[in-house]
Amino acid sequence: MQIPKSKEWRSKDVSQNYYADYKPFNFVDGEGVRNSLYVSGCLFACKGCYNTASQSFRYGKSYTKELEDQIIEDTKLSYVQGLTLLGGEPFLNTGITIPLAKRVYTEFKNTKDIWCWTGYTWGELQEETEDKLKLLHYIDVLVDGRFELAKKNLNLQFRGSSNQRIIDVQKSLTQGKIVIWNKNN
């Protein structure tokens, strides 16, 4: 597993604007019915990663405006709770993830939420590049931290290993400290 130094990995240097998959109307990538975009490319290379194919920045297909429009149309449906960004690494694909997250936020305001999985920890993201911080501001729920095979636990909700946290991003940003997500809030 690789661990980056602060600001070492830059989306503009590594992203090829590819996505591995788009899965509309699923129930596994966060709470409720979700539309999930799996971006391509991840440098963490966690041992035991469940999605190794998406570690390549050239895996899958080129992200297009047509796909983005389809994601928005699918998200308009009343039974869809929101969008999920995962991959790959969403914070290394900010050329895709920021415009999409901004569009979801602009078009749906507080009626839809955005979940995101990342190998970065909350603390690492606080010391990262401007684009990563910008993306973070559009996200409602963040599952942070690298997958650790030694801490794998199939009984955890929305996480693969016990070191990962489910963070309420907006409350954390407002309070200046990590606030763990609680679906009852």
**How many independent structural domains does the chain possess?**
1
* Tens digit of each residue's pLDDT (9 = 90 or more) over 146-162: 999 999 999 999 999 99
- pTM for the full model? 0.95
136 within domain boundaries:
yes
The CATH number given to whatever domain includes residue 88 is: 3.20.20.70
103 within domain boundaries:
yes
Residue 51: per-residue pLDDT: 87
Structural domain including 56 reads 14-175
**Sheet architecture: strand order including 165-168:** 61-62, 18-26, 33-39, 80-87, 113-117, 141-144, 165-168
68 within domain boundaries:
yes
Residue 183: per-residue pLDDT: 79
52 within domain boundaries:
yes
7 within domain boundaries:
no
Residue 2: per-residue pLDDT: 79
5 within domain boundaries:
no
Those residues whose C-beta lies under 8 Å from the C-beta of residue 13, and which sit 6 or more positions away, are none
22 within domain boundaries:
yes
97 neighbors 90 (Cβ within 8 angstroms): yes
Residue 26: per-residue pLDDT: 95
Q: What is the pLDDT along the chain (185 residues), one digit of tens a residue?
A: 778 899 999 999 999 999 999 999 999 999 999 999 999 999 999 999 888 999 999 999 999 999 999 999 999 999 999 999 999 999 999 999 999 999 999 999 989 999 999 999 999 999 999 999 999 999 999 999 999 999 999 999 999 999 999 999 999 999 999 999 987 76
* Tens digit of each residue's pLDDT (9 = 90 or more) over 76-103: 999 999 999 999 999 999 999 999 999 9
Token code pair at residue 88: 């790959």
1 within domain boundaries:
no
Nearest Cα to Cα of residue 160 among 175, 176, 149: 149
